[in-house]
Amino acid sequence: MELLLTFLQKAIGQGISILFGASGEIITEKSGNLNLGIPGIMYMGGISGLMAAFFYEKYAEVPHPFMGLLISFAATLIVSALGGLLFSLLTVTLHANQNVVGLALTTFGVGFGNFFGGSISKLAGGVGQISVATTASAYRTSIPGLSEIPVIGPLFFSYGFLTYLSIIVALSMGYFLANTRKGLNLRSVGEDPATADAAGINVSRYKYLATTVGAAIAGLGGLYFVMEYLGGTWTNNGFGDRGWLAIALVILALWKPINAIWGSFLFGGLFILYIYTPGLTRATQELFKMLPYVVTIIVLVVTSVRHKQENQPPGHLGQSYFREDR
Amino acid sequence: MNNEYAIELKNVTKRFGEIIANDNVNLNVKKGEILSILGENGSGKTTLMNMLSGIYFPDSGQIYVDGREVTIRSPKDSFNLGSGMSHQHFKLINVLTAAENIIWGLPGAERIKMNQIVGEVNALCDRYGFDLNPTQKIYDRSVSQKQTVEIIKVLYRGADVLILDEPTAVLTPQETQKLFNVLRNMRKAGKSIIIITHKLNEVLELSDRVSVLRKGQYIGTVPTREATVESLTEMMVGEKINLAIDRSEPGKPELRLDVRNLTCKNREGISVLKKVSFTAFSGEILGIAGIAGSGQKELLEAVAGLEDIESGEILYHAPDGSIEKLSEMAAAEIRDLKISLAFVPEDRLGMGLVGSMDLTDNMMLRSYTEGKHFFTNRKKPKALAERVVDKLAVSTPSVETPVSKLSGGNVQKVLLGREIASSPTVLMVAYPVRGLDINSSYTIYKLLNAQKEKGASVLCVGEDLDVLLELCDRILVLSGGIVTGIVDARTSTKEELGLMMTGSKVGGQKHA
């Protein structure tokens, strides 16, 4: 029982980064942009939040946890939004190939994270020395009182505010896409930009906005990992391939943010299952780490066999749009 | 100020690079009037209307709405001025419902009140006599229902000027009549309607006035009452054309194809052809009619060996008397029996030609397997390419030009030319004149007739029933994958075909 509780708690903890990434990617893909730069953008979001907190704590006389939180939160949003903006500029305005730009952005973002991670480690006095404990404590504050309740407390109320934010973001995104005019317009841009254009929708603006906002949301996944999961430190490549899991989750969730919530917990659980499975060798561990991808492939197979139009990716995903192209 | 004209265009010019799509076009449409814009493909009709709907911006010239000069920079401007366009290729999103398709792009309360919108849409439908379920998704609707959604979309936006681009291209005669009735209701309500078409009889039936374009030039406007098919064709083409297709009597018909109880399923396991049986003879043209997607493509592909056959058999009676079972043969073997298929898809390239390759290479696609050497021999295909260019008057700088650089009509001539060059015994063509101008269409009809006279058995899938009735000897009608009738083209009528296309079987009429 105790073990199961810890497992669920850790699964949710693992899932939150992925959920932010997947939510960001869903809204991006709904505009028809396939941003494969999301894994890189999550690195960028993580490191910029950490750097902002690091310098704040280094230069402030008495660092205040809440100020550290605000500053790092803003830094993450800005830097990761810039990543999305760059992607939009290259693919929407300059019509560059989305796959190439996305993969380049991921390579760039991982390098960006590791470079600055290394630099501030050096400033902090060596590998493993970097710590923004004050700011991280603000991120890790759970709801007082409620988290003391046995079982329910640790399972539902033992997390920092980013966990709850991720779920609120996913829920409101689901509502936005289904029930608002702007959401409807955004979906039509991703399905068929030429048609949306003919109806008077500003295709480029929707693509830019969705991609930029999506990147900012995804960046929060990196911030969550650095602040709440790691407790305010950095290890190079520590974020691993969670960014790619986020992109796989978009497919698993069938482009619906609500599905991404439970999907992220499922992925989180599968991601750490090897730790809780006794008797694994180093080699068999790796097989367990494949599970999230196996599930994604199964979902892909099942949905393509059922062939329901609603479960397909946005019609114009991955293609750039040029109005007078005939 | 009450102006007689809803929309006036003065000296509007639009260029795409070197090409002048519209050259000093003058046009006007009155309130409560149906104006036809007539012209061949490539004459600039759609470009002109795209400028009215804000998709393109004119290089020079003025547009007046209600007597005021206006600038239309985007589709939004156009809606605000009260004009809306229903496009030839529907601008609808498949995964959304009709109501969602109607409202997206419109301003309004951020939160969507679906019930209210459905009510408004229903009210519009009642007013003009449409038949529509607003909560149904687009992808499981018929073509004519999709068009209804398109038109309501424009009306919902409060448009006073409705532009319809080739609205009847995909409709059966009955659906066309229904649409025309709705359009007449709208005219009565004081709306102006511009209808772009190349079908002369529709122009004469429906519109009040006709404006004619030819190769981007504005030719003139005439009241429909004073126009005839001949006079309009002359305006469109610039010369007198003999519109009659010579149909010779089939000489010595011999059985070529015998299809029995053919059933095919698509990948989703749905039957696209159900127990189709028919025969085709040498020296005759068998027309295949039906609403788009009724199984025409699958039927031809099944004969060509490209479609998996669920049950039934296809027998080929070769001129030397031997009988081959096509249903058990591979596509390449069938081709070696000189059974050839030329399918012209909507985008004209997709099947049969490779856009980035030049004419010679495209000719080789058909014949390269005949060579025995490691290196390919370009001489014969090149000669063939030159012959096709010469015989069919393909306008291309040279045979080394990539096919995608040619205009649609020329691409088609290359495709057909190549298939005919292999002197087939069974020639199957689908939509051979799709998007062609009148002159090229008649060239193609003559080619098909020449094949027939040579003794080939020609199967022709067509869109225009008038043409099928004039060109073919017999017409097979498909509806939802079922043969609803095989009729004699010399005695049948458009109405009869239309009825069969919608699925009413005509009792046992099997002419030889």
Q: How far apart are CA B467 and CA B309, in angstroms?
A: 31
Measured distance CA(B252)–CA(B229) in Å, rounded = 35
pLDDT band at B475 (very low <50, low <70, confident <90, very high): very high
Q: For residues A82 and B413, what is the distance between their CA atoms, to the nearest angstrom? A: 51
Helical axes A38-59 vs A133-140, angle rounded to 10°: 120
Is residue A30 within 8 A of residue A48, CB to CB? The reply is no
Nearest Cα neighbor of B28 from B166, B192, B235 is: B192
Low-confidence residues of chain A: pLDDT under 70: 127-128, 324-326
Rounded to whole angstroms, the Cα distance separating B403 from B401 reads 6
Contact A184 B104 (CB under 8 A): yes
* Partners of B488 in the β-ladder: B474
Taking contacts as CB-CB distances below 8 angstroms, the residues of chain B near A310 are 95
CA angle B263, B265, B268 (to 5 degrees): 165
b/e map B128-145, b = 16+ CB within 10 Å = bebebebeebbeebbbbb
User: Sorting pLDDT into bands at 50, 70 and 90, what band is B1?
Assistant: very low
Short-list B224, B222, B242, CA closest to B233 = B242
The DSSP annotation for A240-254 comes to TTHHHHHHHHHHHTT
Q: By three-state DSSP, how is residue B241 classified?
A: coil
Q: Looking at the complex, report in whole angstroms how far the Cα of residue A86 sits from the nearest Cα belonging to chain B.
A: 26
Q: For chain B, state the CA radius of gyration.
A: 24
Is residue B371's pLDDT more than 70? no
CA-angle at B193, arms to B187 and B199, nearest 5°: 110
Give the pLDDT confidence score for residue B408 in this predicted structure: 65
Contacts of A323 in chain B (CB under 8 A): 55
Taking CB atoms and an 8 Å cutoff, what residues of chain B touch A188?
A: 93, 96, 104-105
Q: In what order do the strands lie in the sheet with B217-223?
A: B68-70, B60-65, B5-16, B19-30, B217-223, B209-214, B34-38, B192-197, B161-165, B83-86
Tokens of B423: 């002197």
For A164-191, the pLDDT digits (tens) are 999 999 999 999 999 899 999 999 999 9
DSSP A89: I
| Beta carbons of A185 and B104 less than 8 Å apart | yes
pLDDT digits (tens, 9 = 90+) for B455-473: 888 899 888 888 888 889 9
**How is residue B90 written in tokens?**
């529907």
> Residue B65 corresponds to which tokens in the numbers above?
């709405």
Question: Which residue bears the tokens 């010579």?
Answer: B246
Rounded Cα distance between B120 and B117, Å, is: 5
Instruction: Tell me what the mean pLDDT of segment B152-159 comes to.
Output: 86
Residue of B nearest to A304 (CA): B268
| Residue A64, φ and ψ in degrees, nearest 5 | -100, 130
Both tokens of A326, joined, read 């005939």
Pairing status of strand B34-38 against strand B192-197: parallel
Domains and CATH numbers, chain A: 2-325 (1.10.3470)
SS3 at position B428: strand
Which SS3 state, helix, strand or coil, does residue A152 take? Answer: helix
Q: Is the pLDDT of residue B21 over 60?
A: yes
- Does any CB of chain A come closer than 8 Å to the CB of residue B199? no
Pairing of strands B161-165, B19-30: unpaired
Residue A262's identity, in one-letter code, is W
For residue B435, the model assigns a pLDDT of 67
> How, if at all, do strands B482-488 and B474-479 pair?
antiparallel
Which domains does chain B carry?
5-237 (3.40.50.300), 252-340+423-512 (3.40.50.300), 347-419 (no CATH)
How confident is the model at residue A127, as a pLDDT? Answer: 67
pLDDT of the residue at B509: 42
**Which residue in the block uniquely carries the two structure tokens 């088609």?**
B412
The answer to whether A53 and A306 have CB atoms below 8 angstroms apart is no
Strands B457-461 vs B474-479: parallel, antiparallel or unpaired: unpaired
Residue B70 pairs in a beta bridge with: B63
Chain A residue at shortest CA distance from B51: A198
**B463 vs B176: CA distance, rounded Å:** 14
- For residues A301 and B181, give the distance between their C-alpha atoms in angstroms, rounded to a whole number: 47
**pLDDT number for residue B193:** 92
Residue with tokens 């994604």: A296
Residue B365 has pLDDT above 70, yes or no: yes
Residue owning tokens 């109607």 = B102
Identify whether the C-beta of residue B125 lies closer than 8 Å to the C-beta of residue B117: no
Distance CA B216, CA A122 (A): 70
Residue B38 contacts residue B212 (beta carbons within 8 Å): yes
Ranges of beta strands (E only) in B431-511 are 457-461, 474-479, 482-488
Q: Give the pLDDT confidence score for residue B510 in this predicted structure.
A: 39
- At B375-424, the pLDDT tens digits run 777 788 888 888 888 877 777 777 888 877 776 667 777 887 887 777 78
Burial A130-148 (b: 16+ CB within 10 A, else e): bbbebbbbbbbbbeeeebe
Give phi and psi for B219, each to the nearest 5. -95, -45
Residues 6+ apart with CB under 8 A from B320: none
The rounded distance, in Å, linking the Cα atoms of B153 and A188 is 15
Q: What CA–CA distance (Å, rounded) separates A84 from B134?
A: 37
Could you tell me the two tokens for A30?
């709904």
Chain A interface includes B97 (CB < 8 A): no
Does B96 lie at the interface with A, CB-CB under 8 angstroms?
yes
By C-alpha distance, which of B399, B93, B95, B457 is closest to B250? B457
- A200 contacts in B (CB within 8 Å)? 54, 74-76, 78-79, 105
Question: Which of B454 and B3 is assigned the larger pLDDT?
Answer: B454
Pull the structure tokens for residue B312. 């039934």
Angstrom distance (rounded) from CA A128 to CA B395: 72
Q: Which residue has the higher pLDDT, B159 or B244?
A: B159
Q: Is B31 helix (H, G, I), strand (E, B) or coil?
A: coil
pLDDT for the residue numbered B346: 55
Identify the bridge partners of residue B426 per DSSP, sorted by sequence position: B339, B457
Residues 6+ apart with CB under 8 A from A125: none
Report the residue of chain A nearest B72, measured CA to CA. Answer: A200
Q: What number is the average pLDDT over the span B73-101?
A: 83
Q: Which residues pair with B490 in a beta bridge?
A: none
- Work out the pLDDT band at B369, boundaries 50, 70, 90: low
CB contact under 8 A, A181 and B110: yes
Give the bridge partners for B461, in sequence order: B288, B430
Closest-CA residue of A relative to B15 is A324
Size of interface A-B (CB pairs under 8 A): 75
Per-residue pLDDT, averaged over B33-46, amounts to 83
Q: Please give the torsion angle defined by the CA atoms of residues A223, A226, A232 and A234, in that order, rounded to the nearest 10 degrees.
A: -130
Of A98, A81, A82, the closest CA to residue A90 belongs to A98
pLDDT at B2 over 60: no
Q: What is the pTM of this model?
A: 0.75
For residue B507, name the pLDDT band (cuts at 50, 70, 90). very low
The pLDDT of B311-316, averaged and rounded, is 88
Cβ separation A201–B103 shorter than 8 A: no
Between B98 and B351, whose confidence is greater? B98
> Which among A199, A315, A323 has the least Cβ separation from residue B91?
A199
User: CB of B511 within 8 Å of any CB in chain A?
Assistant: no
Q: At what angle do helices A257-276 and A2-30 cross, to 10 degrees?
A: 140
Q: What is the ipTM of this complex?
A: 0.76
The alpha carbon of residue B74 is apart from the nearest alpha carbon of chain A, in Å, by 7
CA dihedral angle for residue B55, residue B60, residue B65, residue B69, rounded to 10 degrees: 130
Place B350 in a pLDDT band, splitting at 50, 70 and 90.
Answer: low
